[in-house]
Amino acid sequence: MTKNKNEMAETLVRQQIDAFVRAFCMKDLMLMMSLYAPDFVSFDIVPPLRDVGRDTYRAVWENTFTLFNDPIKIELRDVTISTDADVAFSHKLLRLHATRTNGHEVNYWERLTFCFRRVDGTWLIAHEHVSVPADLASGKAVLDLKP
């Protein structure tokens, strides 16, 4: 690809990432679902091992939105984007800071990978992988790491 085309693709992918953050913070299910490809596959931070299909994941987001009070604060760091004509990927660290409806404060950094396919001119998330590291010796999820 030419440098200009690459820069344009990178700008469009970045807009989708910004839209993801906005949809999460605003609990905007319609905006969130507009970002995903129909055959989307998720490796989510919580079980199961994977979710297959945009419709399956709609229910996951619907449920997630019920877990948090407003405001939901999100910070991104170390955002990297690699684009081609029709395939792209991006990885970054995401800090989620919010209060759950059960009163518990949530404040941790997670790792977030998006893989995109361009479908009819729109960059859709075909695959998402979100996680925190695990301490395999103790069996604990490690939620107190800072970048």
Scan for tokens 């839209």, then name that residue: 19
Nearer to a copy of itself, 4 or 80 (CB): 80
What is the per-residue binding string for a copy of itself in 50-89, x denoting contact by CB under 8 A? Answer: x---------------------------x-x-xxxxxxxx
16-25 long-range Cβ contacts below 8 angstroms, 24+ apart: 16/114, 16/116, 16/123, 16/124, 16/125, 17/76, 17/79, 17/81, 17/90, 17/92, 17/114, 20/114, 20/125, 21/74, 21/76, 24/72, 24/74, 25/71, 25/72, 25/73, 25/74
Rounded to the nearest whole angstrom, what is the least distance from the CB of residue 52 to a copy of itself in the complex? 9
Nearer to a copy of itself, 70 or 84 (CB): 84
Nearer to a copy of itself, 29 or 132 (CB): 132
Q: Footprint of a copy of itself on this chain (CB under 8 A)?
A: 1, 41, 43-50, 78, 80, 82-89, 91, 93, 106, 109, 111, 113, 115, 117, 126-127, 129, 131-136, 139-143, 145-147
